[in-house]
Amino acid sequence: MTDVSVVSLLPSFVMPDPEWPVPTPPNVTAATEDASCDEESVRLMLRVKEGDVKAFERLVELHQGIMIGTASRMLGNLDDAHDIAQQVFIRVWKSAPRYEPTAKFTTWLFTIMRNLVFNESRRRTRRKEVSLETESDDDMPQRQYTDHTAPAPDHLTQQDELEKALDKAISALPEKQRLAVIMRQQQDLPYEQICEVLNMSLPAVKSLLFRARTELRKHLAVYLGEDLS
């Protein structure tokens, strides 16, 4: 089903220029492109280039799920994820007149989403820094920290607890590591496509993922029964 919150923006794409420019689709190599993978999306996008709103709606239907899911895991907030997805597709629409099918369509979408998500993450960091600077010790509320080494409540299953711990551990990773893990482990993107999205070499991406997985194992050791001391 088409997401009404996204498609409702179709009649009026009157928005200020984004802080991040819409990136030029990266070049494709034989190693990164499956000839049949993006055929429908490219075909639809070429129709969008001619102003076909129905083709655009179909593109949204095809790709909004992965955009919302990835943004939600990056930001930890579903409402913000819907906003990011809307912005992604608005940028797709606005850039349609300049579109050329020189890359995997999903790589291009992820690159736009990456810029928006990283920008939002940095805004949040700045807001937190300002908030901490304006709080005094007397005004600061007593924060409650969860002891994740304690046994889970009876009503939570072990799997539920592990999934919550994994989400928390992923959210604590640096933004590039977090996005790489989400794209690889949860969206099943190939290494080569992750390289395109992050603008990194294959060895650099593999190193990034290795560091991220090492950090995740440390956070999840208590749940996995591992002793990393």
Instruction: Note whether 109 and 173 are same-domain residues.
Output: no
Mean pLDDT of the 17-36 span:
41
Per-residue pLDDT tens digits for 134-171: 554 455 444 443 444 444 454 457 777 777 888 888 88
Q: Treating both helix axes as pointing N-terminal to C-terminal, what angle do 53-75 and 78-95 enclose, rounded to 10 degrees? A: 140
Which is higher by pLDDT, 205 or 36?
205
Work out the pLDDT band at 8, boundaries 50, 70, 90. low
Q: What is the count of structural domains for the chain?
A: 2
Question: Which residues lie below 8 Å from residue 125, measured CB to CB, with a gap of 6+?
Answer: none
Domain of 80, CATH number, reads: 1.10.1740.10
Instruction: Note whether 40 and 80 are same-domain residues.
Output: yes
Per-residue pLDDT tens digits for 45-59: 999 999 999 999 999
CA atoms within 13 A on the CB side of 90: 21
Per-residue pLDDT tens digits for 116-125: 999 998 887 7
Question: Which residues lie below 8 Å from residue 103, measured CB to CB, with a gap of 6+?
Answer: 25, 26, 27, 28, 33, 196
Domain span at 201 = 156-229
Tell me which DSSP letter residue 96 carries.
Answer: G
Domain of 209, CATH number, reads: 1.10.10.10
Please return the burial class of 30, using the count of CB atoms within 10 Å of its CB with bins 0-12, 13-18 and 19+.
exposed
**Would you say the pTM of this structure is higher than 0.75?**
no
Per-residue pLDDT tens digits for 76-93: 889 999 999 999 999 999
Residue 14 domain-assigned? no
Nearest to 63 by CA among 47, 97, 40, 46: 40
